Amino acid sequence: LGAAVEILPHASRVQVYDHHVDRSGDLQQHCGVDVETTLEGVGSVTTIVVEELMRQGLELSEPVATLLALGIHADTGSLTYDSATVRDAKCLAWLMERGAKQAVIATFGHAALSPDQAEMFTLCLSKLRRYKRYAVSAATVLLYADQYINGMARVGHGAC
Protein backbone atom coordinates (compact mmCIF):
# COMPACT_ATOMS: atom_id res chain seq x y z
CA LEU A 1 0.00 0.00 0.00
CA GLY A 2 2.98 2.26 0.36
CA ALA A 3 2.28 5.88 1.22
CA ALA A 4 -1.48 5.27 0.99
CA VAL A 5 -1.38 3.61 4.43
CA GLU A 6 -1.08 7.05 6.00
CA ILE A 7 -4.16 8.52 4.31
CA LEU A 8 -6.46 5.49 4.32
CA PRO A 9 -7.68 5.99 7.90
CA HIS A 10 -9.10 9.35 6.78
CA ALA A 11 -11.24 7.79 4.05
CA SER A 12 -14.92 7.09 4.57
CA ARG A 13 -14.91 4.39 1.87
CA VAL A 14 -12.17 2.57 -0.03
CA GLN A 15 -12.65 0.89 -3.42
CA VAL A 16 -9.79 -1.36 -4.59
CA TYR A 17 -9.41 -2.81 -8.08
CA ASP A 18 -6.73 -5.46 -8.53
CA HIS A 19 -5.75 -8.04 -11.14
CA HIS A 20 -3.26 -9.93 -8.97
CA VAL A 21 -5.54 -12.75 -7.84
CA ASP A 22 -2.64 -14.62 -6.26
CA ARG A 23 -2.04 -11.83 -3.76
CA SER A 24 -4.54 -11.66 -0.98
CA GLY A 25 -4.18 -9.17 1.79
CA ASP A 26 -6.37 -7.83 4.52
CA LEU A 27 -6.77 -4.20 3.59
CA GLN A 28 -9.45 -3.81 6.25
CA GLN A 29 -6.83 -3.93 9.01
CA HIS A 30 -4.84 -1.13 7.35
CA CYS A 31 -7.79 1.10 6.63
CA GLY A 32 -10.16 0.95 9.54
CA VAL A 33 -13.00 1.64 7.08
CA ASP A 34 -15.11 -0.49 4.79
CA VAL A 35 -13.09 -1.76 1.85
CA GLU A 36 -14.81 -2.94 -1.30
CA THR A 37 -12.47 -5.08 -3.39
CA THR A 38 -12.86 -6.05 -7.03
CA LEU A 39 -10.39 -8.81 -7.82
CA GLU A 40 -10.35 -10.17 -11.38
CA GLY A 41 -8.02 -12.60 -13.15
CA VAL A 42 -7.11 -10.40 -16.10
CA GLY A 43 -3.81 -9.17 -17.43
CA SER A 44 -4.38 -5.52 -16.58
CA VAL A 45 -6.13 -3.70 -13.78
CA THR A 46 -7.12 -1.15 -16.44
CA THR A 47 -9.24 -3.86 -18.07
CA ILE A 48 -11.42 -3.98 -14.95
CA VAL A 49 -11.90 -0.20 -15.09
CA VAL A 50 -12.65 -0.24 -18.84
CA GLU A 51 -15.21 -3.04 -18.41
CA GLU A 52 -16.98 -0.89 -15.83
CA LEU A 53 -16.98 2.06 -18.23
CA MET A 54 -18.41 -0.23 -20.91
CA ARG A 55 -21.17 -1.46 -18.55
CA GLN A 56 -22.11 2.12 -17.74
CA GLY A 57 -22.18 3.05 -21.43
CA LEU A 58 -19.85 6.01 -20.92
CA GLU A 59 -18.27 7.75 -23.87
CA LEU A 60 -14.60 8.61 -23.75
CA SER A 61 -12.49 11.30 -25.33
CA GLU A 62 -9.64 10.17 -27.59
CA PRO A 63 -6.98 11.14 -25.02
CA VAL A 64 -8.72 9.17 -22.26
CA ALA A 65 -9.17 6.15 -24.54
CA THR A 66 -5.47 6.37 -25.45
CA LEU A 67 -4.33 6.58 -21.80
CA LEU A 68 -6.47 3.58 -20.84
CA ALA A 69 -5.11 1.61 -23.82
CA LEU A 70 -1.58 2.46 -22.70
CA GLY A 71 -2.40 1.00 -19.29
CA ILE A 72 -3.52 -2.30 -20.81
CA HIS A 73 -0.51 -2.41 -23.14
CA ALA A 74 1.88 -1.77 -20.22
CA ASP A 75 0.39 -4.48 -17.97
CA THR A 76 0.08 -7.11 -20.70
CA GLY A 77 3.20 -6.42 -22.78
CA SER A 78 0.87 -5.45 -25.62
CA LEU A 79 -1.00 -8.75 -25.10
CA THR A 80 2.19 -10.85 -25.30
CA TYR A 81 2.44 -11.83 -21.61
CA ASP A 82 0.98 -15.14 -20.46
CA SER A 83 -1.29 -13.19 -18.12
CA ALA A 84 -3.01 -11.37 -21.02
CA THR A 85 -6.61 -12.46 -21.55
CA VAL A 86 -9.32 -12.19 -24.18
CA ARG A 87 -10.97 -9.64 -21.89
CA ASP A 88 -7.87 -7.42 -22.18
CA ALA A 89 -7.99 -7.70 -25.97
CA LYS A 90 -11.70 -6.87 -26.09
CA CYS A 91 -11.13 -3.79 -23.97
CA LEU A 92 -8.30 -2.67 -26.27
CA ALA A 93 -10.60 -3.09 -29.28
CA TRP A 94 -13.34 -1.09 -27.52
CA LEU A 95 -10.83 1.68 -26.75
CA MET A 96 -9.64 1.70 -30.37
CA GLU A 97 -13.26 2.11 -31.47
CA ARG A 98 -13.36 5.18 -29.23
CA GLY A 99 -10.30 6.73 -30.81
CA ALA A 100 -7.27 5.40 -28.91
CA LYS A 101 -4.35 6.70 -30.95
CA GLN A 102 -2.04 3.91 -32.10
CA ALA A 103 0.74 6.38 -32.95
CA VAL A 104 0.78 7.64 -29.35
CA ILE A 105 0.73 4.07 -28.03
CA ALA A 106 3.63 3.14 -30.32
CA THR A 107 5.62 6.13 -29.03
CA PHE A 108 4.91 5.80 -25.30
CA GLY A 109 3.83 2.18 -24.93
CA HIS A 110 7.23 0.69 -24.24
CA ALA A 111 7.20 0.11 -20.51
CA ALA A 112 10.40 -0.22 -18.57
CA LEU A 113 11.41 -3.67 -17.38
CA SER A 114 10.07 -4.72 -14.00
CA PRO A 115 12.72 -5.07 -11.25
CA ASP A 116 12.71 -8.87 -11.67
CA GLN A 117 13.01 -8.55 -15.44
CA ALA A 118 15.83 -6.00 -15.12
CA GLU A 119 17.74 -8.35 -12.81
CA MET A 120 17.33 -11.21 -15.27
CA PHE A 121 18.32 -8.93 -18.16
CA THR A 122 21.59 -8.03 -16.42
CA LEU A 123 22.24 -11.70 -15.69
CA CYS A 124 21.36 -12.57 -19.28
CA LEU A 125 23.89 -10.10 -20.68
CA SER A 126 26.63 -11.46 -18.42
CA LYS A 127 25.98 -15.07 -19.46
CA LEU A 128 25.10 -14.55 -23.12
CA ARG A 129 27.22 -16.59 -25.54
CA ARG A 130 27.30 -15.44 -29.15
CA TYR A 131 28.22 -17.64 -32.09
CA LYS A 132 28.76 -16.97 -35.76
CA ARG A 133 29.01 -19.78 -38.28
CA TYR A 134 28.90 -19.30 -42.03
CA ALA A 135 27.39 -15.79 -41.82
CA VAL A 136 24.69 -16.95 -39.37
CA SER A 137 24.67 -15.38 -35.93
CA ALA A 138 23.16 -17.03 -32.88
CA ALA A 139 23.17 -16.50 -29.13
CA THR A 140 22.39 -18.77 -26.19
CA VAL A 141 21.89 -18.24 -22.50
CA LEU A 142 20.68 -20.43 -19.66
CA LEU A 143 19.02 -18.68 -16.72
CA TYR A 144 17.45 -19.90 -13.51
CA ALA A 145 14.88 -18.07 -11.37
CA ASP A 146 13.46 -18.87 -7.95
CA GLN A 147 9.98 -17.98 -9.15
CA TYR A 148 8.00 -17.39 -12.32
CA ILE A 149 8.77 -14.01 -13.91
CA ASN A 150 6.07 -12.70 -16.22
CA GLY A 151 7.17 -11.09 -19.48
CA MET A 152 10.51 -12.83 -19.91
CA ALA A 153 10.09 -12.58 -23.69
CA ARG A 154 10.92 -8.87 -23.35
CA VAL A 155 14.14 -9.79 -21.54
CA GLY A 156 15.21 -12.18 -24.27
CA HIS A 157 14.28 -9.78 -27.04
CA GLY A 158 16.26 -6.94 -25.46
CA ALA A 159 19.37 -9.02 -24.91
CA CYS A 160 19.83 -10.28 -28.45
pLDDT tens profile 9-56: 788 878 788 777 666 555 556 566 677 778 888 999 999 999 999 999
The per-residue pLDDT for range 94-150, each reduced to its tens digit, is: 999 999 999 888 887 766 677 788 888 888 888 888 888 888 888 888 888 888 887
Instruction: Give the rounded percent of residues in the chain with a pLDDT score beyond 70.
Output: 86
Which residues lie closer than 8 Å to 131 by C-beta, 6 or more apart?
A: 137, 138, 139, 140
What is the predicted pLDDT for the residue at 31? 61
State yes or no: pLDDT of 160 exceeds 60: no
d(CA 109, CA 89): 15
What is the predicted pLDDT for the residue at 150? 78
Taking the model in full, what pTM does it have? 0.64
d(CA 124, CA 120): 6
Closest C-alpha among 107, 101, 108, 76 to residue 90: 76
d(CA 44, CA 37): 15
Looking at residue 18, its amino acid is D
What is the predicted pLDDT for the residue at 141? 85
